[in-house]
């Protein structure tokens, strides 16, 4: 069985879920069904989170706030 997304109903029915929660469902070789809490992210967000260079730049900017460049608003001179 390929992994599937399972969403519980308003009464939380779909095994042990809370209402409106999503789970990734996969089946083990012995037939056991495993529900893993899941969130859906956009492709753009996934690429952003996987980009080590961008993450390093963000961490550097957080560690060195004195080096930040203030952005001008539109119309400001």
Q: Contact at 8 Å (CB) between 24 and 8? A: no
Quick one: pLDDT at residue 68?
82
Quick one: pLDDT at residue 74?
83
**Complete DSSP assignment for 1-17:** ---EEEE--TT--SSSP
6-46 pLDDT tens trace: 777 777 776 555 566 787 878 889 988 888 888 889 999 99
Average pLDDT over residues 58-63: 92
Q: Is the pLDDT of residue 66 over 80?
A: yes
Predicted TM-score (pTM) of the model is 0.42
């Amino acid at each position: 069985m390929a992994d599937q997304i399972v969403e519980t109903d308003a009464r939380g029915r779909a095994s042990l879920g809370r209402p409106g929660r999503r789970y990734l469902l996969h089946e083990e070789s012995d037939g056991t069904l495993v529900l893993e809490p899941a969130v859906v992210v956009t492709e753009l967000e996934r690429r952003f989170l996987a980009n080590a260079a961008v993450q390093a730049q963000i961490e550097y900017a957080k560690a060195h706030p004195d080096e930040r460049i203030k952005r001008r608003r539109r119309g400001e001179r």
